[in-house]
Structure 1
Amino acid sequence: MKVFVIRHGETEWSLSGQHTGMTEVPLTDNGRQQAERMRPVLARQTFALVLVSPLQRARETCDLVGFGAEAIIDPGLMEWNYGEYEGLMPQQIQAKRPGWLIFRDGCPGGETPRQIGARVDRVVARTRAADGDVALFAHGHVLRVLAARWIGLPPRAGQHFLLNTGTLSVLTYYHEIPAVRVWNGQVYE
């Protein structure tokens, strides 16, 4: 079994570094091109299950890659709820709360690492129950937690999995042990 993990394409807020949780921000032209470059790579795959975040940027990426018609919206793939930090850049948050790290501290008025970990665990269980390969279309922080949870690490370990926009990663198994096969893969023309 392989799990194809696709982070949505670039948005204006991902360019500026603003924390984009629940705010609907469309893909930029470059973000749409990133998604379209993944299309031929993913077209060679057959998926037993395609799950997508309900947020516009993930759904648009899924559509451009060619799986919108078969995708099932899964709220568990929504981005981390940043609460009071929604729309802020890291330096703005650091000015208010020096040393802040989302994977350790969570967000006031938003989600804690424990809450997002529980949400992601439900997605992992659904993915493992599929009868074949799976594609997941979602967002940076939630997918970083998903990678950590896939291999049995705590949500906090998501801090070790950097993830750019418009990237393709693959989770799988080494014998019966959950493993990361590819992470943060760029698809070029």
Structure 2
Amino acid sequence: MGTAVNLELYVIRHGVTQWNMEKRYLGHSDEPVLHDSLRHLNKLKSIITEVGAPLLISSDLTRCQETMAYLFPHRHYIVEPQLREFNFGDWEGKTYDDLKDVAAYRQWLNNWEKESVPGGESGQVFSCRVNGWLMEDLPTLVADQDWETGTKSCVIVTHGGVIRYLIQVLTKDKDAFWQWNISHGEAVKLSCIYDKGEWRCSSLSVVPTRENDKL
């Protein structure tokens, strides 16, 4: 992109799954959403469909695609494997109580960005995967759109860890990963500018609105 582009990013966490209800680690395992829970997305749906975003992107996992299909029935969207959740490997389906006495798990909790999950991925691999998509693929997708006059907007359905990492990178706040917890079926709206190969975020809020929105 030769000129600066203003983009409104709406990043949505997928609907609730059975493993989410049971507080099990859920990364690359392909759990579907609980369909009875989709009605809890109706408030978000009424807001997000008014945005009129021409660019829709979803993680390739079933729970995200089902959420996207519910929010935007009959709309085309891009499926993106790089927006998958962290790969928890051998810990997939386990709970905190299952793992709390495992030494490797305690080490990972203390330094997730450098420690690797057995059979899964390290924080560095996860970060490179998501950051590569943000810095290389998203600008290309935005540039390829035949935008109408007005604010450019994009809706992404992905996972909690991905959302927290995107907030951290876009706001340049290294503490944001642990400060933000977006609930299932919530979105975070980031007003961004892409210029000279860099993203900048000028504002951030949760949709539907919370009383304690930041920025």
Q: TM-score, normalised by structure 1?
A: 0.85
Amino acid at match of 1:158: F
Task: Tell me, yes or no, if structure 1 residue 124 matches structure 2 residue 134.
Answer: yes
Task: Tell me, yes or no, if structure 1 residue 138 matches structure 2 residue 161.
Answer: no
Change (3 A) 1:179 1:99: farther
Change (3 A) 1:50 1:114: same
User: 1:21: how far off?
Assistant: 1.1
User: 1:41: how far off?
Assistant: 0.7
User: 1:4: how far off?
Assistant: 0.1
User: 1:91: how far off?
Assistant: 2.6
1:25/1:57 contact within 8 Å kept: yes
Match of 1:109? 119
1:38/1:187 contact within 8 Å kept: no
User: 1:29: how far off?
Assistant: 3.7
User: 1:171: how far off?
Assistant: 1.2
1:7-86 paired onto structure 2 within 5 Å: 7-66=13-72, 69-86=75-92
Q: TM-score, normalised by structure 2?
A: 0.76
Change (3 A) 1:10 1:138: same
Task: Tell me, yes or no, if structure 1 residue 182 matches structure 2 residue 205.
Answer: yes
1:10/1:30 contact within 8 Å kept: no
1:2/1:172 contact within 8 Å kept: yes
Amino acid at match of 2:56: V
RMSD (CA atoms): 2.6
Rounded to whole Å, the distance in 1 between the matches of 2:74 and 2:14 is 13
Task: Point out the structure with max Rg over C-alpha.
Answer: 2
Question: What secondary structure, in the 3-state scheme, does the structure 2 residue paired with 1:26 have?
Answer: coil
Question: What secondary structure, in the 3-state scheme, does the structure 1 residue paired with 2:121 have?
Answer: coil
Rounded to whole Å, the distance in 2 between the matches of 1:157 and 1:40 is 28
User: 1:62: how far off?
Assistant: 0.2
Match of 2:183? 164
Where does the alignment leave 5 or more consecutive residues of structure 2 unmatched?
1-6, 144-151, 211-215
| Identical pairs, percent | 21
